[in-house]
Amino acid sequence: MREEESPVPALRRRTLAGLLLAAPALLPRAGRAQGSARPQWPADRPVRLIVPLAAGGTADFLARHLAARMQEITGQSFVVENRTGGGGTVGWQAVARAAPDATTVLVMDNSLSIAAAAGRELGFDARQDLEPVAMLAQFPPIMSVHPSLPVQDLPGFIEYAKARPERVFYGSGGIGSVPHLQVELLQSITGIRLNHVAYRGMAQAVTDLIAGQVQLIFPVFPTAAAQLRDGAIKPLAVGTASARIPALPNVPTAREQGVDFNNQAFFGMMAPRGTTPAQLAAMQAVVAAAAPDAAFRRRLEEMGALLPDASTPPFRTMLEDEVTLWTRLLRERGIKVE
């Protein structure tokens, strides 16, 4: 996923040590401790899953399904709360400032890693005040162009763009959004030079790609599923390390095409600083028990998601890598995220 990366000077020794504690190592211990008994969340009161994004989106879907499944497994009460505002800050603060008693957890996405890399003023320390619990799902970008563009694959697009420096336009959901930084990462890797058009969301970027106002977008599958299925936009590659996505089995990965690009939107769970290793292990055991639900997995695969498996890096390490990557990329590309 990563090219050669520079260290993040602001990361403190304590943070690095914490992030390198591998979550998968905790799961087997939790499973052995529970034996055949059903896992229990380490709280005797209702648990709030804070979602810093609006109801109806992917994070909300993940949180609500997990809440229902975890309640079914444990017999305990789980409630989803959508706490929007401040580009995610309101929801992040609600968890970062909560008591570390396992009654408040966060369902988050890459935007928190980007905020930490950008040094945004959040009212808490994004690198120290939240504890990673578990990766929930990854959504690879679908590198997509207008069907009329005379390219059939990612190397063809790169050649096309190199012949037209700064004359090819790409759309994103705004400065500092995941699709914006993913295209900037592609430019850093390949040496192409594109022009950015920032929208208020990816839906408008999809509309303008179809209209020919931009030539490239990096949506996740749910954002452009209908347009990908009916041929209104042309997928060139998916941004995964190895596996193609079940929703688009005929679209090769970037790496299959010789382009070393691997970056996904992701969703994960975090807890307040001070949550103990024993509490984290118990939380992870409950999430691990909830995740294999067949209907849930099938629905996520239909949405273009990849679910964690043995090849997925530990969530703590993945977050560390994300902050390192975006810190370097923002500096290298001169991007200011407000």
Chain centroid to CA 141: 10
CB 1 within 8 A of CB 262: yes
What is the reported pLDDT for 36?
A: 52
Domains 13-139+266-333 and 142-257 share a fold: yes
Does the structure show a pLDDT above 70 at 3? no
What is the reported pLDDT for 291?
A: 84
Weakest-pLDDT range from 1-15, 69-83, 321-335? 1-15
pLDDT averaged over the chain?
Answer: 88
Chain centroid to CA 174: 16
Indicate the pLDDT class of residue 243, thresholds 50, 70 and 90.
confident
Does the structure show a pLDDT above 60 at 4? no
Compute the distance between CA of residue 90 and CA of residue 30 in angstroms, rounded to an integer.
Answer: 32
What is the reported pLDDT for 12?
A: 33
What is the reported pLDDT for 16?
A: 30
What is the reported pLDDT for 310?
A: 76
The domain locations on the chain are 13-139+266-333, 142-257
Indicate the pLDDT class of residue 47, thresholds 50, 70 and 90.
very high
For 310-328, b/e burial (b = at least 16 CB within 10 A) is: eebbbbbbbbbbbbbbbbb
Digit-coded pLDDT (tens) for 95-126: 999 999 999 999 999 999 999 999 999 999 99
Digit-coded pLDDT (tens) for 156-176: 999 999 999 999 999 999 999
Q: Which CATH class is domain 13-139+266-333?
A: alpha beta
CATH topology of domain 142-257: D-Maltodextrin-Binding Protein; domain 2 (3.40.190)
Q: Rounded to whole angstroms, what are the CA distances from 115 to 34, 110, 124, 176, 287?
A: 37, 9, 11, 9, 26
What is the reported pLDDT for 171?
A: 98
Does the structure show a pLDDT above 50 at 8? no
Does the structure show a pLDDT above 80 at 5? no
Indicate the pLDDT class of residue 29, thresholds 50, 70 and 90.
very low
Give percent of the chain with pLDDT exceeding 90: 78
Q: Rounded to whole angstroms, what are the CA distances from 51 to 34, 229, 239, 289, 335?
A: 29, 30, 25, 21, 27
